[in-house]
Amino acid sequence: MSRSSPHRPRRRWTLAAGMAAAVLAASVGLPRITRAAEQVPDGTFDANLGSWYAYGVAAGPSLTGGALCVDTQDGTINPWDAAIGRNDIPADLGQGYQLSFRAMASREVVINANFQHASGGFEVIAGGTPLIGTTWQTFTLNGTAQTGFADGQIVFQVGGKGAFTICVDDVSLQGGVAPPVYVPDTGPRLRVNQIGYLPFGPKRATLVTTATAALAWQLRDATGAVLRSGTTTPRGVDATSGQNVHTLDFSTYTRAGAGLYLTADGEVSYRFPIGAGIYEQLRKDSKLFFYTNRSGIAISDAIAPGYVRAAGHVGTPPNRGDTAVSCQLARDFMSFWTCSPSFVRDVTGGWYDAGDHGKYVVNGGFSVALLMSEYERNQRARTADRRALGDGTLRIPESANGVPDLLDEARWELEWMLKMQVPAGSGDPGIAPYEGMAFQKVQDEAWTGLPLDPAADTMRRELHRPSTAATLNLAAAAAQGARLFAPYDPAFSARLLAAARTAYQAARRVPALFAPDADGNSGGGAYSDGDVRDEFYWAAAELFLTTGEAGYRADVLADPLHTSGGLFSVEGFSWNTPGALGQLDLATVPSALPGRDRLRAAVLKAADDILAVQSRQPYAQPYAPASNSWTWGSNSQILNNLIVLGTAYDLGGASKYRTAVLEGVDYLFGRNALNHSYVTGYGTVSSQNQHTRLYAHELDAALPHPPPGAISGGPNSGLQDPLALGKLHGCAPQFCFIDDIQSYSTNEIAINWNAGLSWVASFVADLDSGANDGH
């Protein structure tokens, strides 16, 4: 999930401003709240932290007993040096506000508690300096807005008091104007795959209706003539959407056509085609995303029309660039590590990870591995079109160089990952313990706003402390790349393998160095992962597949995950659970590993478990968490489950797996509760306004929408951004999405999400008409 976060600068308020607010409140009495509205929908902390954050603290924020808690630390000076906060709360001029909350601390302590402006003069509307005791107490603070602004914040400033633990709960801000109720436009109640169906593939649709008995339906051509008819199958209330739904099945109709549509219950669906090859363009567009997201190279209008831009982060003023990046600075008591300012690295290149300009080894390794696995599948799967991923098949600068284009694109990321490996012999005491490991990430020192061209980014760039997870991502991806590049560039292959060996040994030497959770509070996402057992398995698997060496084979066979079946879940695998990639490759890449039949059986078992979930879903998505709480990047979880199903089809050939992949794709392209295609440029109504600093047409009409083939993160029950939380609070899982650039928790783009889409796009494109059982 990348997880780009909102701009969260540290907010200050002056003591004079706070005293003035207190005097004003005392002189006029309680404010008159004329149009009271709750402005904090995520203040109870029953299930998650919502849009709340903390900075300058030793640990947290965390959920503890249904409250938000942090551990402060010694060394801070000012109250604003450490705080708990929530941003993006508007204030209406002349309106009264009442801030209330419960709090307790490990010792008595006075804090600043304010609803205030988050910029300008940091004016306090309602606030004070309550004494927090060691038992739960309720506090109420009142005030009136003397000015109006959109960027208000609630902040509990806890700096300058030494080390203690503080917890807050039931935070409420009453006042202002109630926001209008958001009702999404879901179009016709008949939901179809808006880009079409394969002639010999499954063809199903979903009808939203109040009817409980079967209804008549018709498939019609562009002139309105009926081509096929039948009756719906009632499915009852779908728990993931809260809708009463029926299923339509017109799979028996196999003739190609354009402008087709369904009718039922007085509704007319969006029009769609039936035809072979409808996914061929998606195969290409899903990969063009990586070229347009490249760092360190000018993007050519001839290659990607409409997406031309200067090279980002190459040190051309005002941009400071990635040509000589040093470590995090120790500042404001927030750094976890630093090194000598004289230590710098050239870390140009690679892909921008998501909505921000950060580049992360953890997610980068996972993403490039998915692309390489797609290529590797293309070389052996019986249904694969061997020509589809060859040299000259993609629009990239390296095309026609004698190397398959998908490998050329992967190389752009791999070369950057090699630069992120800590060199030997630096002599820097801050660096020496981590030689051979990989830096976690390179990012801006603070959050930047939207939109922002990478070449115009003026922020200082920083390397963040190496982590075991990043190191193992490098080991696994570099080892995989070494075997794929060996026929085309032996020298590069050797570099990759040497880096992979070094990284693997470094991770064994430092097996539990984790990225801190709080390292996502400014400038970039944390990508923290405190369990790297599956990363060790993945790295050992790729090193064994590349080298065949006994030591790596022994590591694979001795790993408890190898036989436990714990590498797959019906809720999908992701960047922080990449062991599934290792097991998929061990099951499909030829090797002398003992017990490969058991590995293949494990993949088929995982696929059958996913099938069982999918069969219960009226929208046929292969994803439905038992908690009914959908995660950040749910579309990615769906795509990765489709990869498991596709691999099962490659291994066993059972048509049920092919059918499951195609039906899962239907969900992504419109057969869902929102009647929305999550891939830009594909379908009648598709995502256009994903959260990104690059493609911000919603904010600046001179900028483009994301390129065709870019997938949104998708419904997310957590609603961790203020826009989604304000509009979607209380949503059923499938409705926890909004196509708005400010909704980073539901509508971001990310390289790992598009890498999954790329793999699946190749799989379904290889099916041709849907009847392809091998070339």
**What would the mean pLDDT of 413-425 be, rounded to a whole number?**
97
Q: Which residue has the tokens 């097991």?
A: 583
- Which positions are catalytic? 356, 691, 739, 748
290, pLDDT greater than 90:
yes
- Whether residue 336 contacts residue 327, with contact meaning beta carbons closer than 8 Å, is answered with no
- Strands (DSSP E) along 122-281, which ranges? 124-128, 131-132, 137-144, 149-157, 165-175, 190-191, 204-208, 216-220, 226-231, 233-238, 243-249, 257-264, 267-268, 272-274
Q: Any idea which of 46-60, 248-262, 451-465, 712-726 has the lowest mean pLDDT?
A: 46-60
SS3 13: coil
Q: Which helix (H) or strand (E) holds 596?
A: helix 596-615
The rounded distance, in Å, linking the Cα atoms of 54 and 81 is 11
- Whether residue 336 contacts residue 329, with contact meaning beta carbons closer than 8 Å, is answered with no
**What is the torsional sign of CA 330, 331, 333, 335?**
negative
* Domain ranges, ordered by start, for the chain: 15-175
The rounded distance, in Å, linking the Cα atoms of 188 and 194 is 12
The rounded distance, in Å, linking the Cα atoms of 194 and 267 is 16
Triad 468, 470, 474: Cα angle to 5°: 115
Report phi then psi at 100, rounded to 5.
-130, 150
SS3 553: helix
293, pLDDT greater than 90:
yes
Q: Give me the percent of the chain exceeding a pLDDT of 90.
A: 82
- Whether residue 367 contacts residue 752, with contact meaning beta carbons closer than 8 Å, is answered with yes
Q: What is the 3-state secondary structure (H, E, C) of 155-191?
A: EEECCCCCCCEEEEEEEEEEECCCCCCCCCCCCCCEE
**What would the mean pLDDT of 528-532 be, rounded to a whole number?**
94
Where does the pLDDT of residue 505 fall: very low under 50, low under 70, confident under 90, or very high at 90 and above? Answer: very high
Q: Under CATH, what is the fold of the domain 15-175?
A: Jelly Rolls (2.60.120)
**577 exposure class (CB count in 10 Å sphere: 0-12, 13-18, 19+):** buried
Where does the pLDDT of residue 20 fall: very low under 50, low under 70, confident under 90, or very high at 90 and above? Answer: very low
Q: Give me the percent of the chain exceeding a pLDDT of 70.
A: 94
- Whether residue 502 contacts residue 543, with contact meaning beta carbons closer than 8 Å, is answered with no
Q: Which helix (H) or strand (E) holds 83?
A: strand 83-91
Report phi then psi at 492, rounded to 5.
-65, -40
Q: Any idea which of 37-46, 159-168, 217-226 has the lowest mean pLDDT?
A: 37-46
**446 exposure class (CB count in 10 Å sphere: 0-12, 13-18, 19+):** middle
749, pLDDT greater than 90:
yes
Where does the pLDDT of residue 773 fall: very low under 50, low under 70, confident under 90, or very high at 90 and above? Answer: low
Measured between alpha carbons, how far is residue 572 from residues 630, 638, 671, 756, 757 in Å? Answer: 11, 7, 20, 12, 14
State residue 335's pLDDT score: 56
Nearest-CA neighbor of 417 among 508, 351, 485, 461? 351
9, pLDDT greater than 90:
no
Question: pLDDT averaged over the chain?
Answer: 92
Cis peptide before 9 (omega within 30 of 0): no
Tokens of 278: 């409808």
